[in-house]
Amino acid sequence: MAHVSFDASALKQFVHDNELSEIQAMVNAADSQLREGTGAGADFRDWLHLPTEYDQEEFARIQAAAKQIQSDSDFLVTIGIGGSYLGARMALDFLHDSFYLAHADNDDQTMVVFAGNSLSSSYLQDLINLIGDKDFSINVISKSGTTTEPSIAFRIFHEMLVKKYGETEANKRIYATTDKARGALKTEADANGWETFIIPDGVGGRFSVLTAVGLLPIAVSGADIEQLMAGAAKAEATYVDPDLTKNEAYQYAAYRNILYRKGYTTELLENYEPNMAMLAEWWKQLAGESEGKDQKGIYPSSANFTTDLHSLGQYIQEGRRNLMETVVKLDQPNHDLNVPGAANDLDGLGYLEGKSIDWVNTQAYRAVVAAHNEGGVPVMTVHIDKEDEFTLGYLIYFFEVAMGISGYLNGINPFNQPGVEAYKTNMFGLLGKPGFEEVGDKLRAQMND
C-alpha cells in the first residue's frame, strides 16, 4: 500500500492529456538541476538525502536528550520561529490527539510548548502562567542566535529558568540547536556548557524538520522519530525517477506549474481533519519562501474543511477564477463514530443514522471536488493512508522534493529567501538598533507626513 498517493483525476477539464508529456523535458532539466547541483541554490540541497545520510551519532544524542527531558521536565519550551518552529508544531498536531495540551496536568507526559514565534507579550505571559511552578527545560533553536522574536523569548525563559534552578542546574536544562561552529547562540552555548545540536549548513530552515530542529521536540512529545525518518527514507527512494508517469511528487509539481501558467496563481492546501491545520502552515512557508520571488510564484493559502466551507466556500465556488486546490485527504482516521439514532427526526438526520461519520466526511469531500470543478476550480488530492510517524515522514519528503522541482520549473532559486530581510531592516530602524538609525529616521519622517 502506498502511504502517500497523488490523484489528478479531477483535472481533466483543466489540463489536456498531452500537457503532462509536453512538460516532461522541463521536468528532466529541473531534476538535473536538483540532483546534480547545477541549479541555483545548490549549496542548500542536503535535505535531499537527509533521510538516509543523517548523523547517526547526533540522532542517538537527540533520543537520549529526549529521554532526559521526559524524566525531569513537565514542559519543554521550544523557542524558534519560521522553519525553526513550524515543522515540530505541525508534527505534534498531526501525531497527537486534538487536545494535546489539555493533558498538561498529566505527570506521565512532558508537554512540548512553543515560544519565540511572535512578539505578543500576552502569549508569553499566558505560557508562563501555564508552566507555573512545574519543572521545565528549554530548546532554543536559531542558526544565528540574533533573530528578534526567539531572542526575546529566550531571555525571558532563561531568566525564569535561572531563578527557579540556579545557574548551574539551569545550564543542564538548556538545549541549543544552532550552527555547528559560529554565531551568538553557539558562542553562548559553548561558554555555558549547554548541550548542542546542529542545524546543517546545507539545509534551509523550511526544509529542516527532519534535522534536530524538528526531531528533538518531536521525540520529547513521545513520537517515534525512527519511524518518521524511515517514512522519509522510503519516499526518498520512491521519488527518484523523473518520469512523470512514475513519480507522483514530480507530477504534483508539474500540474501546479501547468495550472499556474494558465492563470491559477493561488493554491489552497486543504484538509478535512482539524489537526492538519498546522500542516498547512508548514506547507505555506515551504511553498511561499521557495517560490515567491522575482515577481513570480504561486501564492500559498489554506482552508480547513468542512469548517471553512461555511465561510470561504462561497468565494471558492463563485469568486475570481485564480484558485487551484490541493487536498490532503486522510483515508483511515484514527477514530470513527457512527451517527446515533434519535427518538424524533427534527434535525432531519434520520437518513444518516448508523452511518460512519468518516463516511459522511468523505462524501462531503467528493461533493466539494465535484462542485468546485463545475465552478471552474481545479482540484488535486494527496491521499495519506493514516496519521502516523511513517506516513508523516513520507508526506514531508513528498512536499519538499515537489517544491524543489517546482521552483526550478519556474526559473527561480527555490532555496533562498532574500525578500525576508526587507521588513527586518525597517523594524531594526524603528526599534533603534545600532547601525540602523538612518533607516529609522527616514521611516519616522514618512509616518509623520
Which positions are annotated as active-site residues? 289, 424
4-7 sheet: strands from edge to edge: 4-7, 379-384, 323-330, 266-271, 299-304
Q: Is the peptide bond before 266 cis (omega within 30 degrees of 0)?
A: no
The two beta strands, 174-178 and 111-115, are: unpaired
Q: Grid cell 546545507 — which residue?
A: 202
Cα–Cα nearest to 279, from 111, 95, 152 = 95
Distances (CA, A) of 340 to 272, 306, 354, 443: 21, 20, 6, 61
Burial class from Cβ neighbours inside 10 Å (0-12, 13-18, 19+) for residue 12 reads: exposed
Q: What is the distance between the alpha carbons of residues 233 and 242, in angstroms, rounded to a whole number?
A: 18
Q: 3-state DSSP call for residue 307?
A: helix
Q: Is the peptide bond before 306 cis (omega within 30 degrees of 0)?
A: yes
Q: What is the distance between the alpha carbons of residues 370 and 134, in angstroms, rounded to a whole number?
A: 51
Grid coordinates in use for 85? 518552529
The set of residues, in sequence order, having a beta carbon less than 8 Å from that of 421 and lying 6+ positions away, is none
Q: Grid cell 527561480 — which residue?
A: 412
Q: What is the distance between the alpha carbons of residues 224 and 84, in angstroms, rounded to a whole number?
A: 20
